Amino acid sequence: MARFSRSHVTAAHDVVMAALSFVLALYLRLGEGMWTHARAYVLEGALLFAAIAGVVFLGTGVYRSTWRYASLPDVFALARGAALTVLVFLAVVFLWSRVEDYPRSALVINWFALMTLTGGPRLLYRIVKDGGPAHVLERLNPDAIPVAILGVGDEAEQFARAMSRDRDAPYAVAGMIDPSGRRAGQRIRGVAVHDGSGGLDRPLDAIRRRGPRPRRLVLTDGDGRPDRVREALEAVERHGMTLSRVGRLTDFSDSAAVAGEVRPVAVEDLLGRAQTAVDRTAVSRLIAGRRILVTGAGGTIGGELARQIAALGPARLTLAELSEVALYEIDMEIARRFADLPRRAMLRDIRDRERLERAFAQERPDIVFHAAALKHVPLAEANPNECVLTNVGGTMNVADACRGAGVATMVLISTDKAVNPSSVMGATKRLAELYVQALGRAGGGPRFATVRFGNVLGSAGSVVPLFQKQLAEGGPLTVTHRDMTRFMMTVREAVELVLQASALDGASGDLFVLDMGEPVRIHDLALQMIRLAGRTPDDVGVVFTGPRPGEKMREELVYGDETLTPTARAGVNAAAGRHTDLADIEPRLRVLLDRARVGDAGEALALIRAIVPEFAPAAARARRA
């Protein structure tokens, strides 16, 4: 309905302006004498001219142009419509009265008056919106590769404008597709908008019939929803095209629309979830001017924590990491990007309690983010004692060091694999959760908080880098099971929400669970990544290898007795459930660590099952201590 309302307003404007142009042309030609010489026909002539203009403008598609994006092609369209209007009017008047009383030179004046009164408001509206006239006089590129744009918002218009400015631009917009269909039939910068509400096949066929076949479908940021990306991937495969996207308007320094380029569609665009807005003011208040320590700073989560924290102006940033190479890389990156930030790159093993406590005493951190852990499920299954010593013992060491050093807040990074765990890795992370929560509820020390979430895209050892490596090698892609699913989010959003959860007011021992959206089927992700690479599943192939040791078909974010309640910030929920007393769990964990140190894997696993009765490992497997 909104589309017709805008068209009606535009048509009414042009018809009124056409009538006024007829009167203005006569006045400019006859002056004050118009009321004497033309009184007999001025009203009838104005109405006739306006009616002819309305019909001609409708037939030539003038009304389909959008004032917000009025440009030189729209002026040319108006010029053609005005010329045709004058010619039709001349023919009608000639047949009617042989043009005996109407001054013929007024027709030329009428053309200029009509162009001024109809085109002027369009260009003035565009100039006011853009803050200047720079974008209304742009050239088309006759040699560019034809592309179709999915979307009709500002991103689409900016990309089309960038392409029309430069004759050396690599792309020319052959058509636009409105997924909602509300603006179908309109024109933006002279480019026809097609109805995509019923799918992409029909509009792509229509664009091909009206001009050169588009060789690429370009997503705009506003129309890059995950479901739409997946639909677009399937459509371009059917039509022999490739898929790309333009840059975000909020990132002009690297914007594809500004640079005249398009970007590949990233894997994160395929996630079935929307990115969550973050209260950066609250997060900045948490970090700015504080001394921050990050364990596991060379890992995927720890590294992103370091980057985002460094950008928030901490007083000092300490990077704790066991891997020399990983620590070197993140330290050099922070040094390059934040040269004035006081920092320390500290090689530390969180399993070494004494040296960890000395480091805390030296660095005196206000806030500690504990991201260090062994996380690779099959390796943890093969090395259960090492997983216990790192994920349980290391977490206990960090938490105890926080109490001893007077740390204000410690945040434990946990995982959905800690819920009803089927793996040693998940079970040890659950034990870490229980200890930190119990320590927090005991009081008398820092505020302890735990943040639990699912997989992050691109983390070391995860499925996305594996698929990318397999694609580079020509395939096939290996998927454990056709129906296996995982919760996924980008590492950037995960860390943003970790910081957001850390900034929330609450009690010590709180458990926060990030909103992960709907789980992603790994098989679907594999197929979509193949299409993103410009190939087909038939060419690359997908092989099902069966679940690996410790893997579950579907992960969970909460236990059955945990109740999720929304917090003040979208994307972060608080989980309330069972409570464990510190006096009960700490001695049992110390015994577990003793068994792991002497290499008794069987006894260690039995102790884990006693503390975490939900731990349901697969049938007995051979393990090395």
Computed over every residue of the chain, the mean pLDDT equals: 83
Backbone angles phi, psi at 489, to 5 degrees: -150, 165
How far is the C-alpha of 305 from the C-alpha of 82, rounded, in Å?
Answer: 61
Q: If you average pLDDT over residues 600-607, what whole number do you get?
A: 92
**Three-class SS state of 400:** helix
User: What's the CA angle centered on 27, arms 23 and 28, to 5 degrees?
Assistant: 120
Report the pLDDT value the prediction gives residue 118, as an integer from 0 to 100: 80
**pLDDT at position 285:** 92
Span 544-552, average pLDDT: 87
What local confidence, expressed as pLDDT, does residue 3 receive?
A: 47
Going by pLDDT thresholds of 50, 70 and 90, the confidence category of residue 290 is very high
d(CA 318, CA 346): 7
Residues facing 148 on adjacent strands: 175, 217
Count of CB atoms situated within 10 Å of the CB of 485: 18
Per the residue annotation, which of 129, 375, 417, 469 is the catalytic one? Answer: 417
Torsion angle (degrees, nearest 10) of CA 155, 157, 158, 162: 140
What pLDDT score was predicted for residue 309?
96
432: number of CA atoms within 13 Å, CB side?
A: 38
CA distance 16 to 444: 78
Three-class secondary structure of residue 289 per DSSP = coil
* Geometric angle at alpha carbon 252, from 247 and 257, rounded to 5°: 40
pLDDT tens, 119-136? Answer: 777 777 766 655 555 445
119 contacts: CB under 8 Å, gap ≥ 6: 74, 75, 78, 79
Better-predicted residue by pLDDT, 70 or 461: 461
- pTM of the predicted model as reported, rounded to 2 decimal places: 0.68
Confidence band, pLDDT 50/70/90 cuts, at residue 5: low
**Domains of the chain listed by start with CATH number:** 2-130 (no CATH), 145-265 (3.40.50.720), 280-457+488-518+554-611 (3.40.50.720)
Whether residue 417 lies in the annotated active site: yes
What's the CA gap between 303 and 296, in Å, rounded? Answer: 8
Contacts of 75 (CB under 8 A, 6+ apart): 119, 122, 123, 136
Torsion of CA 175, 177, 178, 181, to 10 degrees: 100
Query: Looking at residue 452, what is its pLDDT?
Result: 94
Tell me what pLDDT residue 71 has: 60
pLDDT tens per residue across span 225-248: 667 777 888 888 788 787 877 755
- Cα separation of the two ends of the chain: 70
Lowest mean pLDDT among 175-179, 304-308, 315-319: 175-179
Cβ of 244: how many Cβ atoms within 10 Å? 18
Amino acid at 1: M
Instruction: Give me the pLDDT at residue 255, please.
Output: 38
Query: Can you state the angle between helices 601-611 and 424-442, rounded to 10 degrees?
Result: 50
pLDDT at 261: 56
Q: How far is CA 581 from the centre of its chain?
A: 42
What are the tokens at 318?
Answer: 């300490």
pLDDT in tens, 479-516: 999 999 888 888 888 999 999 999 988 888 899 999 88
Mean pLDDT for 6-21 is 79
Q: What are phi and psi of 63, to 5 degrees?
A: -70, -15
Q: Among 179-183, 331-335, 338-342, which stretch is predicted with the lowest mean pLDDT?
A: 179-183
Integer CA distances (angstroms), 202 to 173, 207, 212, 421, 454, in order: 17, 9, 16, 48, 38
pLDDT digits (tens, 9 = 90+) for 556-573: 999 988 888 998 888 898
Which residues are CB-contacts of 14 (< 8 A; sequence separation ≥ 6)? Answer: 53, 54, 57, 62, 63, 118
- What pLDDT score was predicted for residue 548? 84
**Minimum mean pLDDT among 187-191, 426-430, 619-623: which range?**
619-623
Rg (CA), the chain: 33
DSSP-derived letter for residue 341 is S
- pLDDT tens-digit profile of 71-81? 666 777 778 88
Question: What secondary structure does DSSP assign to 76-116, as a single string?
Answer: HHHHHHHHHHHHHHHHHHHHHHTTSSS-THHHHHHHHHHHH
Determine the pLDDT at residue 9.
Answer: 76
The tokens describing 533, both together, are 């690479």
pLDDT score recorded for residue 100:
61
Q: Does the N-terminal peptide bond of residue 476 adopt cis geometry, omega within 30 degrees of 0?
A: yes
Furthest C-alpha separation in the chain: 115
Residue 448 phi, psi (nearest 5): -100, 135
Query: 166: which 2 tokens?
Result: 């430069």
Q: pLDDT category, 49, cuts 50, 70, 90? A: confident
CA distance 156 to 219: 8
